[in-house]
Structure 1
Amino acid sequence: MAQKTASQGIDEYRAMLADGNPAELFEAKGEDLWKKTRGPKNASLEKCDLGKGPGVSKGAFVELPRFFADTQRVQDLESRLVTCMEALQGFDGAEITKTPFGRGEQINVTALATWIASESKGQRFNLSQNHQQEKTFYEVGKRLFYQRGGTHDFSCASCHAEEGKRIRLQDLPLLSKRPGDGVGFAAWPAYRVSNGQMWGMQLRLNDCYRQQRFPYPGFGSDATIALSTYLGVNAKGAVSVAPALKR
């Protein structure tokens, strides 16, 4: 019998765990948080507009980041949720964005993002490029993707712009071409088995900057949203598998 490759072994490992993906616990928590009255205003998030109208969750994830007229900026899922938590529930958005990942309301933002992502599972990514800001964010994200720097002179492209690359036993998805790779951008939020944590795209990008030896970007920064816009537009046509299971 032919020897299995490392990636085949990892795929089998993921398949064995998939039926009991702990992300389901975060999904349930996120749905509860969406409907629960909370915050200084004692309100729910059921009127939150994620781009498809107040309260509509299905299909929103695969169209984000996008431009929102009320904030006059391009937002991804997590930054948009913070906007809704601030406007509808009275939370301090600035306080949430500066809270470390995995603490306080950041935990709830991750759970909410996990549930919203699950509402679009199986749908194809189709980010808008109609508004000038959306086009600008795509171009800025592209430049950031190829920008080299840090002590190791790395860029996002160092790992994700060529076929056949991997780190240790992990195959690295190609993220610079259309249609995007469904195991890349289209897989986050995801539960990471190696550290027992649920990661949204903001934390995923933050950790990529760490590995590049760059300073951490701010939560919901224009830089992270621009990168997400670039990756999301490149992922056009890819099927969302989020929330996924990662090593």
Structure 2
Amino acid sequence: MKSKLSSAAALVLAAGAVLAVQPASAQDSTSEGIEQYREMLSDGGNPAELVEMMGEELWAEKRGPKNVSLEQCDLGQGPGVVKDAYAHLPRYFEDAGQVMDLETRLVYCLVNLQGMDRKEITKKPFAGGGEYSTDFESLVAYVVGQSRGTIIDVPQSHPQEKAAYERGKQIFFFRGGPYDFSCASCHGVDNQRIRLQELPKLSDPGPAQATYTVWPAYRVSQGALRTMQWRIRDCFRQQRMPSLKFTSQASVDLLTYLAVTADGGKMDAPGIKR
């Protein structure tokens, strides 16, 4: 594992160096340079692959007070079935009596299967600046990677699934905070940008599919894999809204809306971002 991590680190540094010495020219925009960097890293060298490998080991490792693995965790396809599970989440789970996204469900399994303390799990699920991905992020990467090539098909048959979608839609368009922003302020309009960053219209299936299918993603600028719970929490921060609580009902509802809107897209995550 150490040699693989070293190889990946060398690849990232080399790719970054190549990008850094690219000559500045009128015809090459910064966004094109970032895209070239992304393609270079993705060509067999997305660091997320190493995070996935660590997650696979953690999935099978016996841990926690109960000293069991997560191999009996039911992600919606049956106990222990990881293949294609992410492409069908969020969904209603009868044992929990609620709709759950992947991260909420993983917390549930860590607590109920392995006996871990919920407060400890949720205290710091995401890596800080300059830190490697956490165990939790690694587990997410592993599960997400098992849905590559799978068509997104999020169930909407249970009343609670439908209710989660409707609440999520309301959250997406709700305006608030000091700037009177909503998710739709940035992601509800065609051809909108902030600085050099394209802002896809996530209320439309096409852009939603193109975006949702490559998240979670490895952020090169942060050196860590970032999950969907992290992504939407960071969006709330940029809106200057109150901090979105990890695995809260609101977070699951919003992810349900985004996932259902992206139905029909083909999963290609974890992706790689600047």
TM-score scaled by length of structure 1 = 0.94
Counterpart for residue 165 of structure 2: 138
Counterpart for residue 203 of structure 2: 176
Instruction: Read off the aligned partner of 1:165 and give its amino acid letter.
Output: Q
Question: 2: distance between equivalents of 1:100 and 1:148?
Answer: 28
Q: Is 1:118 aligned to 2:142, yes or no?
A: no
Indicate conservation of the 8 Å contact 2:208/2:258, yes or no: no
Kindly name which structure, 1 or 2, has the bigger radius of gyration based on alpha carbons: 2
The structure 2 residue matched to 1:9, chosen from 26, 33, 38, is 33
Counterpart for residue 108 of structure 1: 135
The structure 1 residue matched to 2:69, chosen from 44, 47, 71, is 44
Q: Is 1:147 aligned to 2:174, yes or no?
A: yes
Deviation at 1:13, TM superposition (A): 2.0
Counterpart for residue 24 of structure 1: 49
Instruction: Read off the aligned partner of 2:27 and give its amino acid letter.
Output: Q
Deviation at 1:154, TM superposition (A): 1.1
Deviation per CA, 1:88-109: give whole Å up to 9, x if none.
1110123312336227xx9212
Deviation at 1:243, TM superposition (A): 0.2
Indicate conservation of the 8 Å contact 1:121/1:241, yes or no: yes
Question: 2: distance between equivalents of 1:70 and 1:181?
Answer: 30
Q: Is 1:220 aligned to 2:263, yes or no?
A: no
Q: Is 1:80 aligned to 2:105, yes or no?
A: yes
Counterpart for residue 99 of structure 1: 124
Counterpart for residue 65 of structure 1: 90
Moved more, 163-172 or 78-87: 163-172
Larger relative contact order (CA 8 Å, sep ≥ 6): 1
Question: 2: distance between equivalents of 1:239 and 1:40?
Answer: 38
Question: 1: distance between equivalents of 2:47 and 2:66?
Answer: 31
The structure 1 residue matched to 2:258, chosen from 227, 231, 245, is 231
Gaps of 5+ in 1: none
TM-score scaled by length of structure 2 = 0.85
Q: Secondary structure at the match of 1:121?
A: coil
Deviation at 1:160, TM superposition (A): 0.8
Gaps of 5+ in 2: 1-25
Root mean square deviation of aligned Cα: 1.8
The share of aligned pairs that are identical, in percent, is 52
Indicate conservation of the 8 Å contact 1:98/1:219, yes or no: no
Instruction: Read off the aligned partner of 1:69 and give its amino acid letter.
Output: E
Question: 2: distance between equivalents of 1:215 and 1:101?
Answer: 18
Instruction: Read off the aligned partner of 1:61 and give its amino acid letter.
Output: Y
Deviation at 1:182, TM superposition (A): 3.5
Indicate conservation of the 8 Å contact 1:180/1:234, yes or no: no
Instruction: Read off the aligned partner of 1:77 and give its amino acid letter.
Output: L
Instruction: Read off the aligned partner of 1:132 and give its amino acid letter.
Output: P
Q: Secondary structure at the match of 1:74?
A: strand
Indicate conservation of the 8 Å contact 1:179/1:236, yes or no: no
Counterpart for residue 7 of structure 2: none
